[in-house]
Structure 1
């Protein structure tokens, strides 16, 4: 899972390989119903935000403290998927190490932005 996802040639494909079981349920119960109401791009962004919120809720339950870092982080990653798809950014022809570096930089960049706006 890690090698295939990190070596993905687009950020959208990264998410297809990352935790496919969780992705299946998010797709079935969040994305598809949202897509009936909203455009696909907005549905995807909301799905990422909901995923982040679920992760944040688990942390809040464990810590008994309100904290929202993963929700904005996932929101920014969802935006990155949409923007990179729209711009047709494809790095699949690069070696695995370069593809993995690009994917990690996108993820960490989104985390950095989320950390700046955290609650």
Structure 2
């Protein structure tokens, strides 16, 4: 704002619009030159860098892709929804027989591990 007021006082109201147009043209030409330079330099700098990054990334992608295939995830799901625990079904009730098979029974023994007689 201060620069504008100084320019208005120094150049006057008739020359100020002309100066603005000239500065606009200079800035536009500088931007154009910068874009042309960038377009010429980018293929020599950015492309080899991108190729190096891609070659570095490839072994990791080979490991990650099969893992991602194992976990299909919808993009709309939040992490809480993805890792939400689900209730497991109750296991079936065990079938308990009141009869104990003879081979499973242990015969009573005394302190010397001798069978007790009845």
How high is the TM-score relative to the length of structure 1?
0.27
How high is the TM-score relative to the length of structure 2?
0.27
Q: Which has the higher helix share?
A: 1
Larger radius of gyration: 2
**Structure with bigger RCO (C-alpha 8 Å, 6+ apart):** 1
